[in-house]
Structure 1
Amino acid sequence: MAHVVVTQQPTMGRQMLLGPVHGHRDWDSGLLSCCSDCKSLISTWCCLTCAICNVSTRAGECMCMPWFVPGGLIALRARIRTLGGIQGSICGDCIAMSFCGLCAICQMQRELEAMGL
């Protein structure tokens, strides 16, 4: 019986990237398209806490994550972009959440609806 001695481990080119780094599409609706979906607009305006918890849960995170993780809303927006293959950057997410937070939350709700989540 012959023994084979392995002197070098086989290498496999691990390719983990599933899509383009910068995404392959735009958001389903614009940042300022709040009036196109009255349901998300009203829920965000009347109960912001409920809207944020809803977005977080639908994106697969704990509903409390945006409240207890520093920068949680920015991370949540980045997660939705990643899940949907949406073009953008963390810098853009930060700007949207800082200057148009309610509109950005409405946009995330519309996007999750369009993605079927």
Structure 2
Amino acid sequence: MTTAIVINQPKAGMMVGSVQGHRDWNSGLFGCCSDCKSLLLTYCCLPCAICTVASKVGECMCMPYFVPGGLLALRTRIRTLGGIKGSICMDSIALTCCPLCTLCQMQSELHAMGL
């Protein structure tokens, strides 16, 4: 009979990537003019733009309207899926200061990610 000695404890849970992310957004927060389609959709039909973002990340189209903080959750999800640097605090500040530019940035990022 042999005895196994454990030197390193196994890690609990599974981390897919870094918590902090490894890259920046593809477009800046005020880079709205670089993606004319997102810009027009956001400024001409804001509800359509919000529903489009929600459905592209696998959520119900109406989620941002019925869940408090729904847009913040969507932005954080996009950032996490894309491995983008940032924090929930910075996501919240961006959405508070310039929600339309932030939504354009989210749409551009989803397009760049192939979604």
Task: State the distance in 1 between where 2:99 and 2:109 align.
Answer: 15
Structure 1, gaps ≥5 residues long: 1-10
Aligned to 1:85: 83
SS of equivalent residue, structure 2 residue 51: helix
Aligned to 1:22: 20
Task: Give the TM-score normalised by the residue count of structure 1.
Answer: 0.88
Aligned to 1:50: 48
1:34 to 24, 32, 40: 32
Task: State the distance in 2 between where 1:42 and 1:74 align.
Answer: 22
Aligned to 1:69: 67
Structure 2, gaps ≥5 residues long: 1-8
Q: Which amino acid aligns with 1:69?
A: V
Task: State the distance in 2 between where 1:14 and 1:68 align.
Answer: 34
- Identity value in percent: 67
Number of matched pairs: 107
State the 4+ residue runs in structure 1 displaced beyond 2 angstroms: 11-15
Task: State the distance in 2 between where 1:71 and 1:15 align.
Answer: 27
Task: Give the TM-score normalised by the residue count of structure 2.
Answer: 0.90
Task: State the distance in 1 between where 2:52 and 2:81 align.
Answer: 16
Task: State the distance in 2 between where 1:105 and 1:32 align.
Answer: 11
Q: Which amino acid aligns with 2:85?
A: Q
Deviation at 1:90, TM superposition (A): 0.3
1:86-114 deviation line (CA, Å, top 9, x unaligned): 00000000000001100000000000000
CA-atom RMSD, angstroms?
1.1
